Structure 1
Amino acid sequence: MALIQDLIGEVLCRVPVKPLLRFRCVSKDWCSLIDSNVFAKKHIRTALEFGTGGGLIVNDEAGRCYVVDSEGVDVGSDEAVAVGIKDPLMSLIHGAEVLGAANGLCCVAKSEMSNILLFNPMTRKGREILVVPAPICGFGYDPVNDDYKVVKIAEGKTQFFVFVYSLKTNSWKRVLNVPSKVSFLSKWGVFAGGALYWLASKNPGKGLDTIVSFDLGLEQFKGVPLPPADNKIVNTNSRFMVPVGELLCIFDSYPNHSIDVWLMNKNGSENPWYKAFTVKQPRRHGSEFLRPLAFSKSQTVLLLQVGNTKLMWYDLEKKTFKNVGIRGIRMNFYAYLYNESLLQLAEDKPPQKPLQDKTIQKPSQDEQQKKQQKKRYRMFL
């Protein structure tokens, strides 16, 4: 009997999330299995390994959020259907900015990033995090500790103040190893491969010349050199970062409507970048920005957002574009890739206390420390 249950688990972990949510009605055993965090983690590891289960979370200009499931993002699809997120979750995320997505969870922020919500677009479950405002923020998954983390950065008169929220402990702590003599040029960190990345300047006031990364496992900062650029294009208007799967991607835009696409090497070589390909925009889309969202399973086709109104597939070998209609949205939108998952956000620890203005509490390491911990760190904004 145990063997049969194991085989059922192996089969189900390869099934997409949408039917799995329906399969919970098959029996109590199936419901218990599908609802377990052990199964949810195995399911998303399998999806990431085989490059399946990638959907889109979409913001429109009116502040509404939609979900496009993995079927709509399939390379053979000519049309994607955006389904609006409904209450009670919609009331919490309406008007929010999407900070990013990682391993099945999305992070959005409201009220100048003073109010952050983590949620699962498939299960429609979320957890709200109350924090003090800070202009620089990022969200990602820590594979070393199997944890999700939010990073907030505020600049004081002489130093940066960096705080990290852990979903596993449901608490914040201050990071003391912070960069100095650097200016962050982007307020949202881009998550890729276990780290967050920001465009930055080592010489404040002199423009973009480096990337600052934060390793979520080690909780340490380091500098990353930029890829070389033709015509010395080194500003945030012509160069920007996006995650494409597990890879960090940089787009360099040129006046002739061509775009160089750089991907970060995984092997840690001396040169961290290689030019993957160059995209020549069709004349009819020459004045609109292109933003990569995802590669196909074969890695030969790239899903792009074109402007604020459409999606397109770009064939890297044939150098051709194919339109993807998106039904359900009638206004400008911004799309983000996420991985469909069954991950739960139930409170498994006592709720955190809201952070008081300009004050943040350092988390304890175990129950005994929780009782003794009284020290607070003060953030100067």
Structure 2
Amino acid sequence: MATLPHEMTIEILLRLSVKDLLRFKCVSKTWCSSIDDPDFIKLHLSHSVKTNTNHSLILRHCEYHFFSVNYDSLKTTQRLNHPLGEQKTPMKILGSCNGLLALIDDNGRIFLWNPSTRKSQVLPSTEIEFSSPSIFFPRSTYCGFGYDPISDGYKLVRMVQVHGKNNSYLHSEAKVYSLRSNSWRRIKDFCFYLSFYREFGFLADNALYWMVLKTPQSGNKSLVGFDLGTEEFRFVELPDSCLNKRFCMNMKAMGGYLCLITTYTEFNDDVVDIWIMKESWIKLISWKKSESILGFPIVIPLAFSKSGDKVLFSIALHKFVWYDLGSKRVENVGIRGLPSSFDVDLYVESLVPLTVML
């Protein structure tokens, strides 16, 4: 029986889902070797990102139940077994990148998990290199996870800061974990203030972003980015129209871009603006209360449709809608098996391993 040329076989395999590829590894030693090849894994990931295929939503319900929903169909949920299995240990998703999820439990343990291959590993622990002068002094911990194309490796950033009385600054430190070396190292300290107990950064354009304060007394949030290649922090300007309004501001990453969600009151109407950062800030959507659903609950943009003319939103942590950018119409999305409430993230299904690809 004639066989296909190797190059043609690879082109076919690139278009398959991770589930199919894992099954087809049993076809032959050649196929198994090809699918496990680091170059093929990178090509398959690149093809999925460019064609906006092999994406899924991941839902977290009641802190330790995880579900996935295929983004192409948005029809039904599938139960996932997270790294701790059936243990009812609360876990949060602190970041998602190239099919790898970074999770953190209530004890501060951090895991890397590929839901598609069902592989996971716990990161080595690292001590905080300063002692708190008092157990009553609050401590803030900010984390983020992403990929550095310069070193071709995955990094996790952890910032810790202790606050004294009246929000006076006491001490801070920043560390980076590298999957390539499987170790932590301390980097240059940061010159801003962490305003919450725990926050997770959003990945866009090879950088991680958080909302911080420039001074402890500052009433306005500032946006700071961490370049995963240079490992430098920098402040990012917010849209001019956001500076003079009283609003609630949140962030998200969508389509590889940083996304800003602002909620405010204008002429007795509640308004939600969705901004996206390309070369500069662009207002993508502006909703008024009369146009919204359920009178403006929590509104989270998740992803563009394949055609780019719609945006998928999570509404009030319990339902999904499509928003048509042209007609400005809203369409409910019915998904079978959806839990009553959930946190949600988008991830690309991939073969990326938890070991270094040489």
TM range (shorter): 0.7 to 0.9
Would you say 1:249 and 2:259 are equivalent positions? Answer: yes
Matches within 5 A, 1:1-381: 4-73=5-74, 80-86=75-81, 89-91=84-86, 94-111=89-106, 114-131=108-125, 132=127, 135-156=141-162, 158-176=170-188, 178-185=189-196, 187-229=199-241, 232-233=244-245, 238-255=248-265, 256-265=269-278, 267=279, 272-280=280-288, 282-346=291-355
Q: Is the 8 A contact 2:246 2:264 kept in 1?
A: no
Which AA in structure 1 matches 2:343? Y
Q: Give the Cα separation in 2 of the matches to 1:263 and 1:93.
A: 37
Secondary structure of the residue aligned to 1:328 is coil
| CA deviation map 1:284-314 (0-9, x unaligned) | 4214111000001221100100011101111
Q: Which residue of 1 aligns with 2:166?
A: none
Which AA in structure 2 matches 1:122? S
**TM-score where L is the length of structure 2:** 0.85
| CA deviation map 1:102-158 (0-9, x unaligned) | 11111110125x200111111111111142476111111112222111111112555
Which AA in structure 1 matches 2:206? G
Q: Give the Cα separation in 1 of the matches to 2:306 and 2:28.
A: 33
Which AA in structure 2 matches 1:279? W
Q: Is the 8 A contact 1:208 1:234 kept in 2?
A: no
Task: Name the stretch that deviates more: 99-108 or 13-22.
Answer: 13-22
Shift of residue 347, structure 1, vs aligned partner: 7.7
Q: Give the Cα separation in 2 of the matches to 1:330 and 1:183.
A: 33
Q: Is the 8 A contact 2:153 2:180 kept in 1?
A: yes
Q: Is the 8 A contact 1:214 1:221 kept in 2?
A: yes
Q: Give the Cα separation in 2 of the matches to 1:229 and 1:2.
A: 62
Distance 1:56 1:87, change over 3 A: closer
Distance 1:130 1:110, change over 3 A: farther
Task: Name the stretch that deviates more: 277-286 or 242-251.
Answer: 277-286
Q: Give the Cα separation in 2 of the matches to 1:207 and 1:246.
A: 29
- Aligned-pair Cα RMSD in Å: 2.6
**Identity over the aligned pairs, expressed in percent?**
35
Secondary structure of the residue aligned to 2:45 is helix
Distance 1:289 1:304, change over 3 A: same
Task: Name the stretch that deviates more: 216-225 or 200-209.
Answer: 200-209
Secondary structure of the residue aligned to 2:175 is strand
Shift of residue 179, structure 1, vs aligned partner: 2.4
